[in-house]
A and B are shown apart, each in its own frame.
Chain A
Amino acid sequence: MTITTVAEKSLSLRSRLWLGPILLGVVTLVGAAITGIVLGPIELTTAEVFKALVDRLPFVEAVSGLSDRQSAILFQLRLPRVVLGGCVGAVLALAGAAYQGVFRNPLADPYLLGVAAGAGLGATIAIASGGPGAALPIAAFAGGVLAVAATYLLGRAGDRAVTSLVLAGVAVASFFTAAQTYVQQQHTEELRAVYSWILGRLATNGWAEVKLILPYITVAALVILAHRRLLDTLSVGEIEAQSLGVPVRRVRLLVVAAATLASAAVVAVSGLIGFVGIIVPHTVRLLTGESFRSVLPLSLLFGASFLIVTDLAARTISAPAELPVGVVTAFLGAPFFLFVLRRARRSQ
């Protein structure tokens, strides 16, 4: 074996390095989903749930032994909520990781960039003006795009420290949230209470929310995942990436558009749930390293598990009352934010 073949082996090795973490992610997700479905004021057992799910498959009959009421709880309450939590968590984590790659800033996240607040304002205006339900994600997307553009322009005006972008995001988010509160107070009849939206919650009305966001988040997630190699090339900076033949503007535009579309869609149904895009991708990085090829798919998997579990905590900690899940993620996220900030400062 020549020296070059040894080097070649060593280089192609890396694609196999994160099979283990992917498996771990799948197992965690299955575990989180089962726990989220089984636990609640009305207890269901894993075996019953499993049989009831199998029974729904075509050509398979299984007697779950669930009463009609239990069955309704499973299929109309627990399952949609777990699936929605999984989708929202996966999207927020994936979008966070994608923004971090495009802006080359470890603190970029749909919440901190103001995207969530912008999308919230767009969604609020859509509801308040009584437009058709299909207009909701589009209005949320428009608000999100406006916010991310404002944050980027404001952040660029500051120095090059990672915190400039976040400060700009905080300013933009406050502005959009203020505007949203104003719109809500003008239309108290049509809208839920202000605080419930701003704190973020996973309330479901059967499968309606999941069906509404699924097309948008599927397309957006596929676009982001397809750019995983190109996001790695951006880690050498815009100028060098361009001289390596990367059409930097196109990559940025597509990834930011996809991340914003996905974030806007989930904000439209869940409100402002913060810090998932910080906590999950950075934990994944500690596990497998910085490459977006592993960070993106793993953020998707662990993001789903993370929000299913935090939502479970949100509805059990002070049962029978329910905490907004955004309160739980903020509670975990703020210390984590400090940790990431310190790490970023040190490496600068």
Chain B
Amino acid sequence: MNKMGDSGDLVVSGLSVSRGGRLILDRIDLCVPKGTWLGLVGPNGAGKTTLLSSLNGLVPSRGSISWGGTPLDGLSVRKRAQLIASVPQQPVIPSEMTVGDYVLLGRTPHIDYLGSETGDDYAGAAAAVTALELVGFEQRRLGTLSGGETQRAILARALAQEAPLMLLDEPTTSLDIGAQQSVLELVESIRLSRALTVISSLHDLTLAAQFCDELLVLDKGRVVARGKSTQVLTEDTVRTHFGAEVDILRDNGRITGVVPIRR
């Protein structure tokens, strides 16, 4: 049961972002109930990344964003980082850093300005390392990992933040099909075990339909559709907003594939 503004709900109203005189996001209204996974889909340049960045406070925006009734714009960067963990599309990977040290960076919002890690931080990071199946990798350098392992290390860092809201910008880009699947399965299992709210942009509509509770279709900075994937993802929506001709395969009321058709 969730009403608008319940504790732990993310409520966005009238969120607009302009850059260089151009409107990138146009009055977005959004309520994401605690513990759900919202998928952002839309064509290139629709504003998915900008929406995630503005939720994270990294780009200036108008309108309001609140978490459990608390407006986010009054919070310090540290308090905000205790609420929101984010994984950018192309994270900066310090290749000489060990996986353990990298995951410990996720504890930053819980450590005083000039303080250092305590037992709690090591425990939190270790739990994240375990959840992302990285035990034994702690002393490996990031530069020596495969794409899938790197993505797991990045997610472990985000998980170690122990923030109730996780923002993922294209978490499966540049992964092979097996790694894509296992990364999303791991996100799903940690979301369920920790009651996390996840908002992710996803290029792959099939994966988006299968993993997200709800989808939000963005086009030219506006919300053009929102709801369960079976309602939102139709041949018409995809044609209108992506300019693509697709077949949507369904089985038992679930979407099992979004397949492009040669015109």
Contacts and interface: CB of A to CB of B under 8 A. Distances in A.
Interface stretch (B15-23, B109-117, B176-184, B199-207): B109-117
A7 B98 contact: no
Contacts of B109: 244-245
Interface in B80-118: 80-82, 84, 86, 88, 91-92, 94-98, 100-101, 103-106, 108-109, 111, 113-117
The bracket for how many chain A residues form the interface is 20 to 34
B105 A11 contact: no
Q: In terms of DSSP, what is the predominant structure of the interface of chain A?
A: helix
A48 interface: no
B65 to A, nearest CB: 14
Interface stretch (B120-128, B186-194, B225-233): B120-128
Contacts of B123: 4, 8
Contacts of A227: 114
Contacts of A10: 100, 126, 138-139
Interface stretch (A30-38, A84-92, A133-141, A229-237): A229-237
Given A11-B122, A290-B94, A236 B105 contact: yes
Contact of A11 (B86, B88, B100): B100
B32 interface: no
Given A4-B130, A243-B81, A232 B101 contact: yes
B56 interface: yes
A236 B98 contact: no
A8 B129 CA distance: 9
A283 interface: no
A289 interface: yes
B78 A245 contact: yes
Contacts of A245: 76-82, 108-109
B1 interface: no
Interface string A1-45: 001111110111010000000000000000000000000000000
B186 to A, nearest CB: 15
A247 interface: yes
B126 A4 contact: yes
Contact of A240 (B79, B88, B115, B116): B88
A292 to B, nearest CB: 11
A266 B68 CA distance: 53
Given A5-B126, A233-B108, A244-B109, A14 B135 contact: no
Q: Which 7 A-B pairs have the closest CB atoms?
A: A245-B81, A245-B109, A8-B126, A237-B92, A7-B126, A245-B78, A10-B138
Interface of A: 3-8, 10-12, 14, 226-227, 229-230, 232-233, 235-237, 239-240, 242-247, 289-291, 347
Given A229-B117, A236-B92, 11 more contacts: A3-B135, A4-B127, A14-B101, A239-B58, A242-B77, A243-B81, A243-B86, A243-B88, A244-B108, A246-B77, A290-B97
